[in-house]
Amino acid sequence: MPPYKSNKRHILPGFGLSMGYTVFYLSAIVIVPLATIVIGAFKMDPQAFIATVTSPRVLASYRLSLSTAVFAALCNAFFGFLAAWTLVRYRFPGRRVLDALVDLPFALPTAVAGICFATLYSPVGWMGQYLEKTGIQIINAPSGIVVALIFIGFPFVVRTLQPVLVELEPEIEESAQSLGATRWQTFRRILLPHLFPALLTGVTLSFARAIGEYGSVIFIAGNLPFKTEIAPLMIMTKLDQFDYDGASSVAFVLLLISFSMLLVLNAVQRWQQKSYR
């Protein structure tokens, strides 16, 4: 292959330098660290690898991580939608403050969030003392994990939906109404299909974030083996025991899950856009 030497001049200068920088940066930050996990996993004895990732305790942690993440993502789909809708569609005093608050879970150190939840839901906490009487257990239970995951995933849904909602003209709804559609029909047939790709992106992002969340969960989960141990915690535990191979095999499976999520998301978006663009 001849060296890349274009006689077409770019209008923007500095392509070579910025491209080189981008490739280097991506390699150093993303590709190389991830490659060590993959290579580490492949270097392992396949049988040891299988044994590690299918051991009952690890399997239980995957199940817990996946199920709580799915549940939290679905909750966020609903409440994030409501919040985005309210923030875009209505004008009320304090709207800007509320809008700024949405980003808080992004900005807050997850350990801070974890300690907040642990205090709030502990048997003597503000909410915990009442919940204990009703018999609902949040702390040291999967439901607590879900609460923490909802918290950290919430901004993703709101922030991906907001711009799409803003660009949706009120005329679209008005024309549906004047054609005889009820509010529900307008929502179901016009608004939802329109917002679906953005909603899907938001939910997937919040799901992916929830799968890997560590900091806020360990404070509230109690970390009981087979019950409330999440997958990232398994990695931590194995590292504590100097079981580097074991840790990277658990990590490798998590990496696979995240990666396939991204692929599915991309595929769905492509398919969605093909139909109307």
Binding residues vs other proteins (CB under 8 A): 169, 171-172, 174-182, 185, 189-190, 193-194, 275-277
DSSP letters, 121-142, are HSTTSTTHHHHHHHT---TTSH
> Cβ-count burial of 93 within 10 angstroms (0-12 exposed, 13-18 middle, 19+ buried)?
exposed
* Minimum gap (Å) between residue 186 Cβ and other proteins: 8
Residue (175 or 266) nearer to other proteins, CB: 175
Spatial distance between the Cα atoms of 239 and 232, rounded to a whole number of angstroms:
11
Residue (89 or 189) nearer to other proteins, CB: 189
* Minimum gap (Å) between residue 84 Cβ and other proteins: 18
* Minimum gap (Å) between residue 218 Cβ and other proteins: 43
Spatial distance between the Cα atoms of 155 and 106, rounded to a whole number of angstroms:
7
DSSP state of 213: -
* Minimum gap (Å) between residue 192 Cβ and other proteins: 9
Residue (76 or 160) nearer to other proteins, CB: 160
Residue (200 or 250) nearer to other proteins, CB: 200
- Angle, vertex CA 115, rays to CA 109 and CA 116, nearest 5: 90
